[in-house]
Amino acid sequence: MADKITLTVPGALRYRALAVRVVSEAARLVSGSAQRDEQDLLADDVRDPFDVAVVSAFMEIFNNVAIHAYERDPTGHMEITITPGACELVIEISDHGRPFDPTLVPSLPTDWDAHSLPEGGMGLHIARTMLDDVTYEPGPPNRWRLTKRFSTATEPRAVRT
């Protein structure tokens, strides 16, 4: 399996698509999924459940760092280390922004109707539910560690913080 992939990007939202591209390709290394259109390698083509889980979770954590840790200040950086394994993908993200306490993020209700649909607070829930393990250590540097194992059911799992 491939060696570690490291990427340093400014902690600003305009760099998110670039980071997502790298992460989605790393997910393909583990899942073995094929590009839908090999003539359009830049398409946002994420279909395999493993790739979907990894990319969806990463997007939310990137948002979290850029908006909450760096408070939209584009001068900070994010160091992203991706480790593709035979049966899992591990993504570590470190930043030097403001730490936060994930335990203070309220859980989403388990059920809702047309009137009570949530309009916020979904990001961390998506990351937690899509992945097998999410850990966060406040810094500096703050460290996220996201783990998705291959051939496991995509079920809600506990989050260690």
Partner 1 sequence: MLLPFDVEKSHDATRLIVRGSLDINTAPALAEEIDRIIEAKPGKVDVDLSPLDLIDSSGVAALVKLYKGIRSSGGNIAIKGARDQPLAIFKLLRMDKVFDL
* Backbone phi, psi, residue 137, to 5°: -120, 120
Minimal distance in Å, beta carbon 4 to partner 1? 25
3-class state of residue 52 by DSSP: helix
CA atoms within 13 A on the CB side of 30: 30
Q: Do the beta carbons of residue 53 and residue 154 sit within 8 Å? A: yes
The angle, 0 to 180 degrees and rounded to 10, between the axes of the packed helices 16-31 and 49-64 is 150
Minimal distance in Å, beta carbon 145 to partner 1? 20
Task: Give the binding site for partner 1 (CB under 8 A).
Answer: 13-14, 16-17, 20, 43-47, 49, 52-53, 55-56, 59-60, 63, 67, 108, 110-115, 117-120, 122-123, 125-126, 129-130
Minimal distance in Å, beta carbon 3 to partner 1? 27
Nearest residue (CB) to partner 1, 40 versus 140 = 40
Minimal distance in Å, beta carbon 129 to partner 1? 6
Nearest residue (CB) to partner 1, 34 versus 122 = 122
Minimal distance in Å, beta carbon 119 to partner 1? 5
Nearest residue (CB) to partner 1, 4 versus 14 = 14
Nearest residue (CB) to partner 1, 63 versus 135 = 63
Nearest residue (CB) to partner 1, 91 versus 130 = 130
Number of H helices, E strands in the chain: 3, 5
Q: Do the beta carbons of residue 76 and residue 142 sit within 8 Å? A: no
Cis preceding-peptide flag for 140 (omega within 30 of 0): yes
Distance separating alpha carbons of residues 29 and 33, to the nearest angstrom: 8
